[in-house]
Structure 1
Amino acid sequence: MNKSAIAGLCTLTVLLAAGVYEASALTSDPLTLAEFHKLKAGSGEKSLLHYASTCQREDEAEHAAGYPTTWTCYGADGSSNAVFFYSEGELFGKAQTGLQ
Structure 2
Amino acid sequence: MVYEKRVSKALVLENNTAEDVARAMIESGLQKEPFYIFDMDKAYQFIQHFRKMMPRIKMFYAVKSNDSCMMLKLAAALGVGFDCASPGEIYRILKLK
Q: Report TM bin, short chain.
A: under 0.3
Structure with greater contact order relative to length (CA < 8 Å, sep ≥ 6): 1
Q: Which has the higher helix share?
A: 2
**Greater radius of gyration (CA):** 1
Q: TM-score, normalised by structure 1?
A: 0.23
Q: Which has the higher strand share?
A: 1
Q: TM-score, normalised by structure 2?
A: 0.24
